[in-house]
Amino acid sequence: MKAMCLLQKGETLAAVERPMPRPGDHQVLIEVLACGVCRTDLHLVDAELPDIRLPIVPGHEIVGRVAQCGPHVAGFAVGDRVGVPWLGGTCGKCAYCTRGEENLCEQARFTGYTQDGGYAQFVVADGRYCLPIPEQYSSIHAAPLLCAGLIGYRALSAAGNAANVGLYGFGAAAHLIAQICRAQGRRVFALTRPDDRAGQEFARRRGAVWAGGSDERPPELLDAAILFAPVGALVPAALAATRKGGTVVCAGIHMSDIPSFPYGLLWGERVIRSVANLTRADGLRFMQLAADVKLDVDAEVFALEEANEALKRLREGRIEGAAVLDIAGGASARAAVPSRRSRSGTKGPRGS
């Protein structure tokens, strides 16, 4: 099978032929239809994550069809469409797991990081950690739900009942969470790179009541700020924009160092917290929410062989919404599509 694989730190992904994986007792073999390109994949390729296992196939926003089931798989059958998220497995026995905090399990396995992911034609995954996909989403538009949506949802949950929500960085996660905020009656204030006028206009189209640069103050105090941009210097800025008793949520797996700041920014019972991974319960709740809200998912579509280009554009901030690899369509599908842009609810590249 074809795969895009990270062979050495500091290198771009290489197109390789790999043997077909075989499912274990609780695993499903999945034919990959689409796989989102996440900023975490970029952190992996750029060697910003610890203990990278090489060689590794990235990709943890996987949508595919079950091709084969291991003998102990329950809940899925051959032909079912499933999603494979970042959390690939846990020990189920440690204090974190038994407290319902499996996202913090010290023995957790992660798709596309500690086990091969979805930048490939086939992947194996533990069926107990796979998720159902709402039928109204094509596979292209469902892929970003598996991390951008899930982590955004967990970050929004960490923000509590905030009415005024600031989103720092307006990409794959923020454009989905902004729509959920709007559906829940919250008000979104979007903060992008200072010169990113196109990104600010995109945020307004996706429901932001105000959009400006991250060097600006929103016109109203925030009840909570969610940082999707992995920039530690934004933490003091977000604290300064947040009311007393408010929360600043750091949503990424990696962030540059947070600079020192005066205690006065934290005083007043403001809270800084992080979000780590997700739980299966998060996944099930979010997929139901995505089915109810009917999110518009903006995607820029690439062939599997174009994974390096997708990562490059993501690194440069030139992706509006999410980047998705169309594994099922491949290069021939790209040639048939006049634009890479695809939005749920409109006719796009093959991905179902």
- Any idea what the CATH number is for the domain that residue 91 is in? 3.90.180.10
**What are the pLDDT tens digits along the chain (352 aa)?**
999 999 998 899 999 999 999 999 999 999 999 999 999 999 999 999 999 999 999 999 999 999 999 999 999 999 999 999 999 999 999 999 999 999 999 999 999 999 999 999 999 999 999 999 999 999 999 999 999 999 999 999 999 999 999 999 999 999 999 999 999 999 999 999 999 999 999 999 999 999 999 999 999 999 999 999 999 999 999 999 999 999 999 999 999 999 999 999 999 999 999 999 999 999 999 999 999 999 999 999 999 999 999 999 999 999 999 999 999 985 444 443 334 677 775 444 333 3
Maximum Cα interatomic distance, the chain, rounded to a whole number of Å: 58
Same domain, 14 and 143: yes
Q: Is 350 helix (H, G, I), strand (E, B) or coil?
A: coil
Q: How far are the Cα atoms of 26, 91, 114, 337 from residue 102, in angstroms, in the given order?
A: 18, 8, 16, 41
Query: Among the three residues 274, 295, 329, which one is the final residue of a domain in this structure?
Result: 274
Same domain, 282 and 143: yes
CA-to-CA distance for 82 and 90, rounded, in angstroms?
19
The pairing of strands 81-84 and 131-132 is antiparallel
- Give the CATH number of the domain where residue 197 resides: 3.40.50.720
Among the listed residues 200, 201, 246, 169, the one whose alpha carbon sits nearest the alpha carbon of residue 177: 169
Residue after which a domain boundary falls, among 274, 291, 313: 274
Range of the domain at 312: 2-148+278-343
Is 55 in the same domain as 25?
yes
Please name which of 23, 25, 11, 98 lies closest in space to residue 56, comparing C-alpha atoms: 11
In a domain, 352, yes or no: no
> Are both 158 and 270 inside the same structural domain?
yes
Q: Which of 258, 274, 290 is the last residue of a domain?
A: 274
| Number of domains, the chain | 2
Kindly state whether residues 6 and 101 are assigned to the same domain.
yes
pTM over 0.85: yes
Say if CB 132 and CB 146 are below 8 A apart: no
Q: Are 40 and 107 within one domain?
A: yes
Residue entry with tokens 């790999």: 18
Does residue 349 lie within any of the structural domains? no
